[in-house]
A and B are shown apart, each in its own frame.
Chain A
């Protein structure tokens, strides 16, 4: 039909307009301010115009060459990798168990999904209570085995572990439900063929289940990485970045800079985070697409 092109634009128009105003324009401002010395002291208010200066790449130079940024990037990478690893492996294990036929599996599935249904900030606060050094449930349980538990949220080492525990708890159900859905859509004939060929269960898992779950796995691992890399509430509400700002990931650090009024640095941090994710996603998608072609 001849009308098609402009009809499509007409359908898109409202979104184009709104996105331009509330996303593209602010995004451009944010990128612009990363090239300035914008701060709460010199930004425009209703009483005076802004007096920030263009300073080129100074913010990027300062941040990217700082020891602190590299440390934080390292921790953010570990945080993301460890979380997604456990989300996926534990999710896969539970999905495999739930994919058998036995009484009560619907009940198990509903219970195991619960952490996903709870708002993340509620879970973070609940775990903060559980992790409390004096009256937290975890240390009380450990004490009943005669173990003297640490101050989970302020200890030099355990403050890194505690938010990972919280986020693993939070993130497993999504992967589990997604993988279970994937398993249930594998055609039963493939398993019958494998059995006829005398495959062991291990062989069936590696040669039927795993390849069939490939596309859903590629998708949810990518989503998991993006979400975890940018996840604000868990760190913010459990350790709050402590002890001494050590457990802040890139996103929480950019928020700290914003709160401290260092707006240009906050924007620079955000632009760096987005760039890292964009590069990662491009590499990731290329890696998995080309492999597809090779098969």
Chain B
């Protein structure tokens, strides 16, 4: 059944407008990151800068610049925190997700509910006590460890739910066969289930990584010295009530966004099914 011409034109028109709206802020960010400090405040719309410059990017590395040139510190902190959060969360969550998917045990329903409820926590509910415990009593302010533990509070439950819903999709027959062949429960999990679940584990791990990579609120509170910042908090140094260094902000934003974007294009399909089945289904 061939669509009438006007309908095809209308479809493209709507999608083109929507695409322009989706794209414009991003193009504008990239454009501003290459503008000098005058053009970035210009009152003319210039998508392609008339005098393109790399000064905003160079300033990120320059110790003499207003932000101290801490880029590699921020980058290293971000990577370390996100990697450690991911490893910790996925390791903890894997066996738990498996138990919730395959075993019946007393307390299973309240456990599942607890993981679901933890997705509804407003961040501040744990911020108040964690700041007291980690920041003041354990003196972990300005260290990556405070953030790794803080991020695990949301990443672990999330990974448990994601992995449970992934394990639910695996056929149980292989595991039964392995058990009959004499493999114990842990051996079955480790040698049969984990290798079969690589795609699910990879997406869960990436998601945990990205969530930690993008996190803003806890980092804002736990990190006060510029050399201990993560990339998202670095952005705060550029735009606050005192300065409005938009070029620098945008340059840093571009750098932070690139790895996230790469991941999304690889993982988008798995992510949706994982989120909507794992996140809500009781």
- Interface size on A, as a range, is 35 or more
Give which listed residue, B11, B133, B273, contacts A26 with CB less than 8 A.
Answer: B133
Q: How far is the CA of A124 from the CA of B144 in the complex (A)?
A: 25
Chain B residues positioned under 8 Å from A277 (CB to CB): 120
Chain B residues positioned under 8 Å from A263 (CB to CB): 128
Q: How far is the CB of B154 from chain A (nearest CB, A)?
A: 9
CB under 8 Å from chain A, chain B span 259-282: 260-261, 263-265, 268-269, 272-273, 275-277, 279-282
Q: How far is the CB of A29 from chain B (nearest CB, A)?
A: 4
Q: How far is the CA of A30 from the CA of B125 in the complex (A)?
A: 6
- Quick check: is B249 within 8 A (CB to CB) of the other chain? yes
Give which listed residue, B11, B127, B189, B257, contacts A118 with CB less than 8 A.
Answer: B257
Chain B residues positioned under 8 Å from A7 (CB to CB): 99, 103, 185
- Quick check: is A164 within 8 A (CB to CB) of the other chain? no
Chain B residues positioned under 8 Å from A93 (CB to CB): 14
CB under 8 Å from chain B, chain A span 20-58: 22-23, 25-27, 29-30, 33, 43-46
Please, which residue of chain B has its CB at the minimum distance from the CB of A93? B14
- Quick check: is A134 within 8 A (CB to CB) of the other chain? yes
Interface of B, helix, strand, loop or mixed by DSSP? helix
- Quick check: is A293 within 8 A (CB to CB) of the other chain? no
Q: How far is the CA of A43 from the CA of B132 in the complex (A)?
A: 8
Chain A residues positioned under 8 Å from B137 (CB to CB): 44, 46
Please, which residue of chain B has its CB at the minimum distance from the CB of A139? B43
Interface string of B137-156 (1 = CB under 8 A from A): 10100000000010011001
Interface string of B84-112 (1 = CB under 8 A from A): 00000001110110111001111010010
Residues of A within 8 A of B (CB): 1, 3-5, 7-12, 14-15, 18-19, 22-23, 25-27, 29-30, 33, 43-46, 93-94, 97-98, 100, 102, 104, 108, 110-123, 125-130, 134-135, 137, 140-141, 144, 169, 173-174, 177-178, 181, 216, 219-220, 222-223, 226, 230, 232-233, 236-237, 250-251, 254-255, 258-259, 263, 266-267, 269-271, 273-274, 277-278, 281, 285
Residues of B within 8 A of A (CB): 3, 8, 11-12, 14-15, 18-19, 21-26, 28-29, 32, 41-45, 91-93, 95-96, 98-100, 103-106, 108, 111, 114, 117-133, 136-137, 139, 149, 152-153, 156-157, 160, 179, 185, 189, 213-214, 216-217, 221, 232, 235, 239, 246, 249-250, 253, 256-257, 260-261, 263-265, 268-269, 272-273, 275-277, 279-282
